[in-house]
Amino acid sequence: MNIEQKLIDNFYSLIKFDTTSDHYSTTYPSTTSQIEFAKILAKKCEEIGLVDVKVDHNGYVLATLKATTNKPTSKIGFIAHMDTSPDFSGKDINPNLIENYDGNDIILKNIVLSPKEFPSLKNYTGKKLITTDGTTLLGADDKAGIAEILTAFEYLKNNPQIEHGEIKLAFTPDEEVGNGVTYFNVKEFDCDFAYTIDGGKAGELNYENFNAASATINISGKNVHPGQATNIMINSAMIANELLSMLPNETPSNTKDYEGFYHLTDIKGNVEKTTLNFIIRAFDKDEFENKKQTIINIVDTLNKKYNNLLKLDLKDSYFNMYDILKDNMDIIEKAKKAITKTGLTPIVKPIRGGTDGARLSFMDLPCPNIFTGGHNFHGPYEYVCVESMVKAVEVIINISTDI
């Protein structure tokens, strides 16, 4: 089995399906395409020879590779998500394979993928890259993870002389809209611990992530003819502008490393009504609570000024998995060992985001995150390094066979 070619074939077959999730849907999964994709993945699992293959009514795909040893082993799971981000089109993806990247600008439709703007490209001179054609995202987040898990499981299935315990996979919907494991049955998955395969650069290992919340603010105004508006009109869009001016200048583009942020994801409105949607992020618990309180205080201040025209809906989304994983460092060490065995140096860094593993860790399934080899997710500049994808497969195999 040629792992590299199998990976490319798997990846290409997966990204042709549009599985964009939808923030505003009231169904689960948020899009029907994810259910159809789940059925396709289940068929692939059966073709590999996995057992107990299942797609439940929520769209979760589960499958098991039987143990090849009678030695006592931990039950290990590997998890990736099926949906792609609604931030950019995931329809009609046409991947662009660069066999031997020369280190220069990559000319795509309407855009240029340049190492001047994306310095990470400088690390891949001479490597094999898969990019977008410039009109869609690529879908490496997280179909690279799915392809890597399927390829690793198939390799182990085809080589029964390699000893390993029972290992399981799960593919989840709606991770990109914060609902990836809302209905995930941890008891049925029946693993001692798991790893999400949903990261970036080769060698990366993540066991810290943001604490996360969402905030929706609805502002009511009063619209009358502007020629007769004196002391009557209340412009909700102007109040929204005032609200934004009161926030600290802690946006994603102004923060890095362990710094948290407020991110205005969208705003829609007019004189009569304006809605703002934010996400709030912080690694530190106290900072997280302070950021939420800042939003509350701003809304309270404006409500006093404008006679309660603002309504705030503030919800926690997920929490920093380090609070759980700090007491399960043996599975972190297992991952470090597996990464080192591939010839890579483990790169331990916090996720400036979240994964399904963050919530699963608080559902009694400790679940750090491992790299996929992808970069620039959620947009047309997305790309993945094939050699890094091969390393991810090796890591999955190394973890599974470390008995």
Residues 6+ apart with CB under 8 A from 190: 75, 168
Amino acid at 374: G
Distances (CA, A) of 183 to 23, 141, 173, 175: 17, 21, 10, 12
Give residue for tokens 């559902």: 363
Q: To which residue do tokens 């029964």 refer?
A: 160
Q: Is 176 known to be catalytic? A: no
Neighbours of 92 (CB within 10 A): 10
Which of 83, 154, 174, 394 is catalytic? The answer is: 83
Range 114-144 burial, b when 16+ CB lie within 10 A, else e: ebeeeeebeebeebbbbbbbbbbbbbbbbbb
Sign of the alpha-carbon dihedral angle for 283, 205, 38, 89: positive
Cβ atoms within 10 Å, residue 87:
14
Could you say which of 175, 198, 204, 356 is catalytic? 175
Tokens 């240029």 correspond to what residue?
112
Angle separating helix axes 140-158 and 3-15, nearest 10 degrees: 140
HSE (side-chain half, CA atoms, 13 Å) at 173: 29
**Which long-range contacts link 304-307 to residues 24+ away (Cβ below 8 Å)?**
306/234, 306/239
Q: Are 357 and 79 in contact (CB under 8 A)?
A: yes
Measure the CA–CA gap between 374 and 382, rounded to whole angstroms. Answer: 7
175 annotated active-site = yes
Active site residues: 83, 175
